[in-house]
Structure 1
């Protein structure tokens, strides 16, 4: 019995040697060797492109495939630089189509316009961009054997149109605290506006109300990147910014009144109360007696002045040319405000609720970014 135990113990080292020998370290290594892209094929060198970033137009960049030594997939990026750049710090890189595996890239005019802006090519300017292809296998990245030039002409407007725009500065109602900056209303793609007052001091526009935002300023009728604008005096304005064509419009609002259609005149004026709101308080509203009943139609007239000092009128009313008298069940959209292009005494009027007749009321008009422009009539 003891002899058998001794024999087992004596062969244990041999068994361990066999097991450990079968667990030999794997010497497999990843092969990252590859040949870089040898030739760029499209677009032709010095191709001229008139950019149309507001459309779906695009440019396709193509190149010969790179060759991986082990025959596996290669990933591609297209790099862009200034005409005199060496791609040591490219201004933009885009992953090729198909998640990077295709040897082509379809790039929108909008993206190219952004690259051109980053390269220092101004709006309405023409300039050249250099491009090449970076092929990657693991950590091994190889630049193509050649590069090419694409010449672009930029349209007017900003390469990157902000999602939001804010107004801030000592001349504004919100002051210099960026977190309290006044948000502009987006009224169409790339166009923003705000009804506000300005006083003595400087102001600017930003693309957000925190951190270090991009800033914009106005010089006359031109919207520019960076800088500040200076205002003198205290006035109420509608400020409208169009980032599509770098246009800025400051329309002074010199007055607003509630237009009572039956009398064909202003019933009473509304005063600017701040935060895009005009108000009239404790006003008695009496409908006009007609042979067929009591007439209650009304809308609003704004007196305005353009940057050159030319005075004019703008009308604001209903989206409907004619309306029924509202009730407590009428949708809130009834009171929304819409510009009237072809105004006359009667069209696009609202109607007061029955309860308003002969009562003292507050009327509030809201031109604010967080909701549709609207108004309310409050019976006191």
Structure 2
């Protein structure tokens, strides 16, 4: 399976980074001991999995020792109740990129692992777990094994291939053919940023024609049928995960361009269909580094707190490629964030110029932005 292949490739690459050398320069593998004792969770612990992003289980074990007294890497391995770990259903690196003797694993991840082990939605079943230690490509299984008794989340047996939002509360109204498509971020996972109107209703549907499946939300769960009524007009993000039958929602209250050095914020009004935009915005009064340091990003304020939107993988001047401007949401809100800041195409600084700035989270395209100096 995919995780096993990833593990093999990872350990093969680590061989060259961590292998020791003999006196004549010959590369050889460095041995590592097996983990002797598992600490947490207790053997046979029963857990009813929850859909909350904050719900997790803490795993901990005794450290292994490397022959050269260097660092050791760890993975938590899961298998079926009758498995022998010769082909585990899932492998997960410990915290600190595999260096820690502990792992904090979310309930949502355990739910997916339980599904791989054949435990049905909303049913109880048993998983075995242990820990592998390694120094190079050879992994050593711990001397102990333990079990977890998990009650899975109530995911959907039939997961929609695509999802839309419709209803008189939405920006497109209640005509099914005009329902707004939601962004599919993974199998069974959909999200949208959109305006909803107070006192009106909406629902989610699997198609814009015929007789689609209809869904609504209740508590923290996705349910078949029904509608939801909007309590307050606002811009909302809805995130639905049909694999676990759960959703999250937040109200977005402000989006701003953030100039790194001066920490100046320029608010962008919401224009509709996942687009925030300001035109003919004049920036004045900046000097020195405030003006000449051309790095920027975006800040989003919401009912869930403040987040940042930054480039996916660059820390250099624009290349002309549209993907340079693609964005991803990050939880660490800081003035300086390595490798995740952008550069304006201007060479003479920010001040005394007029800008058109757009920030697009439209579900039909990549999350992106544009900054035009007029």
TM class, shorter-length = 0.5 to 0.7
Change (3 A) 1:201 1:344: same
Answer yes or no: is 1:315 the counterpart of 2:313. no
| Partner Cα separation in structure 2 for residue 292 and residue 186 of structure 1 | 39
Corresponding position of 2:341: 349
Corresponding position of 1:177: 175
Corresponding position of 2:303: 305
Residues 156-167 of structure 1 mapped to structure 2, 5 A cutoff: 156-167=154-165
Corresponding position of 1:373: 367
Tell me if the contact between 1:325 and 1:354 (Cα under 8 Å) persists in the aligned partners: no
Provide Cα deviations, 1:188-218, integer angstroms capped at 9, x if missing partner. Answer: 2221100001112111000011111000001
Corresponding position of 1:241: 240
Tell me if the contact between 2:236 and 2:252 (Cα under 8 Å) persists in the aligned partners: yes
Corresponding position of 1:359: 353
Q: Structure 2: any 5+ residue segments left out of the alignment?
A: 1-77, 81-114, 125-150
Provide Cα deviations, 1:98-150, integer angstroms capped at 9, x if missing partner. Answer: xxxxxxxxxxx89x99xx9xxxxxx5158xxxxxxxxxxxxxxxxxxxxxxxx
Change (3 A) 1:288 1:334: farther
Tell me if the contact between 1:185 and 1:369 (Cα under 8 Å) persists in the aligned partners: yes
Provide Cα deviations, 1:139-178, integer angstroms capped at 9, x if missing partner. Answer: xxxxxxxxxxxxxx97520001111000000111111111
Change (3 A) 1:287 1:352: farther
Corresponding position of 2:327: 337
What SS class does the counterpart of residue 333 from structure 1 fall into?
A: helix
1:288 Cα offset (Å): 4.8
Q: Structure 1: any 5+ residue segments left out of the alignment?
A: 1-54, 58-108, 117-122, 127-152, 307-311
| Partner Cα separation in structure 2 for residue 293 and residue 174 of structure 1 | 41
1:287 Cα offset (Å): 9.3
Corresponding position of 2:215: 216
Corresponding position of 1:193: 191
1:359 Cα offset (Å): 2.1
| Partner Cα separation in structure 1 for residue 289 and residue 183 of structure 2 | 44
| Partner Cα separation in structure 1 for residue 296 and residue 171 of structure 2 | 30
1:298 Cα offset (Å): 0.8
| Partner Cα separation in structure 2 for residue 343 and residue 375 of structure 1 | 19
1:360 Cα offset (Å): 1.1
Tell me if the contact between 2:191 and 2:238 (Cα under 8 Å) persists in the aligned partners: yes
| Partner Cα separation in structure 1 for residue 123 and residue 334 of structure 2 | 45
TM-score, length basis structure 1:
0.56
Change (3 A) 1:218 1:293: closer
Change (3 A) 1:189 1:288: farther
What SS class does the counterpart of residue 261 from structure 2 fall into?
A: helix
Tell me if the contact between 1:287 and 1:296 (Cα under 8 Å) persists in the aligned partners: no
| Partner Cα separation in structure 2 for residue 278 and residue 331 of structure 1 | 22
| Partner Cα separation in structure 1 for residue 289 and residue 373 of structure 2 | 26
| Partner Cα separation in structure 1 for residue 203 and residue 290 of structure 2 | 55
> What is the CA RMSD across the aligned residues, in angstroms?
2.8
Corresponding position of 2:205: 206
Change (3 A) 1:178 1:287: farther
Larger Rg: 1
Residues 250-289 of structure 1 mapped to structure 2, 5 A cutoff: 250-266=249-265, 268-285=266-283, 288-289=286-287
| Partner Cα separation in structure 1 for residue 154 and residue 242 of structure 2 | 9
| Partner Cα separation in structure 1 for residue 363 and residue 253 of structure 2 | 21
